[in-house]
Structure 1
């Protein structure tokens, strides 16, 4: 289908843009996979519905993690319980919010990444990474839905493929300071 073709052509470019955000601005946002998957989920569900459903799933996953912490069970069993409980709550998303099942499944499965980060990192770091991932994901969903770009992907796929490759190589060879580091080391740099 044309929709699948457009997504397949634009996903590598979105991944490159997310990498660029990491190297130029220091935006971590749970790597590349999570923001891309959230972008696709937001695109399919609609930005508002997908974003709201993500916040609900993230909140339920966090509360579930905190409540089952007292039970001394293995990590994978805890994650399975968490996905079970989040899935039950997400059933309401199908009924109340009319969120498509595919995007709902993506959101449920990504809940594990966010909960895993909560276990191993400080709360302030997790909140910052979550906000960064959401900003990247909302931007990614807007990028994937940008009609002139979608038309360009269909009409000129070879240009898009090679431009993405060139941009990715350029980003991959970047060895300078991030913009946030320029601000951080302003006095040392003498600017």
Structure 2
């Protein structure tokens, strides 16, 4: 769509595959989206790695399949950990046991889809690494669940998935990916944007709405 830039051509001819370059650019874009969501909007996520991982995984699975797998992973993790936490055992072994239960559940999920379809007939075509990447969300969820309450963990989960969906939408647009691939100056620009976001001290949009709502309530008293 866009003419290949000389820098991109040079990189592609010096040991960097186009797929790797596209993934690195996508990582920069989604990381910046996470920063914007956190410091301008006020969204809470499971750090920065989880939304990046999910957004890139969704770009390979497709949003419908990605969200279906995410739902299975979270429900299984919640149920299995709720049972396992009643057993006195080491934390790592509890997490490892959770992953074995999750693996069994996902296998059964594949069998269920094969038998009944459920609108997910192409599930078997999902790249394995994308599938595993979504499954690792279990670890982020459980860590948050252990440290904080279930409502807090679910709020962070919601924020993580929403930001990942936004990231998926952006990086899966062909016009955006092609433009970024052939205009690599975008990467240092994103670096500068993140530095500026790191220096931002103003109110986040979420806080602004909360204060505005509070002031209205006080004014009505």
Q: TM-score, normalised by structure 1?
A: 0.91
1:139 and 2:166 matched: yes
> Match of 1:165?
191
Are the equivalent residues in 2 in contact too, given 1:16–1:171 (CA < 8 A)? no
Cα distance 1:55–1:113, how it changes in 2: closer, same or farther (>3 A)? same
Q: CA RMSD in A?
A: 1.9
Cα distance change on mapping 1:40 and 1:94 into 2, 3 Å: farther
Distance 1:21 1:106 in 2: 22
Deviation at 1:94, TM superposition (A): 5.2
CA contact (8 A) 2:73 2:137 kept: no
Aligned to 1:39: 55
Instruction: After superposition, give the CA deviation of every residue in 1:111-168 in whole Å (9 maximum; x if it has no partner).
Output: 01101211221222112111111101111111110111111122111x2122112211
SS in 1 for 2:35: helix
Measure the CA separation in 1 of the matches of 2:187 and 2:127: 29
2:84 to 68, 73, 98: 68
Q: Is 2:206 the counterpart of 1:180?
A: yes
Structure 1 stretches (4+) deviating beyond 6 angstroms? none
Structure index of larger Rg: 2
Query: What is the CA deviation profile of residues 75-100 of structure 1, one whole-angstrom value per residue up to 9, with x for unaligned ones?
Result: 11100100111112223455642232
Q: How far apart in 2 are the matches of 1:145 and 1:83?
A: 29
- Whether the aligned pair in 1 keeps the contact of 2:29 and 2:171 (CA below 8 Å) is no
Question: Structure 1: 5+ residue runs without aligned partners?
Answer: none
Which structure carries more helix by proportion?
1
Question: 5+ unaligned residues in a row in structure 2: which ranges?
Answer: 1-16, 114-122, 217-221
Q: What does 1:85-124 correspond to in 2, within 5 Å? A: 85-92=101-108, 96=113, 97-98=123-124, 99-124=126-151
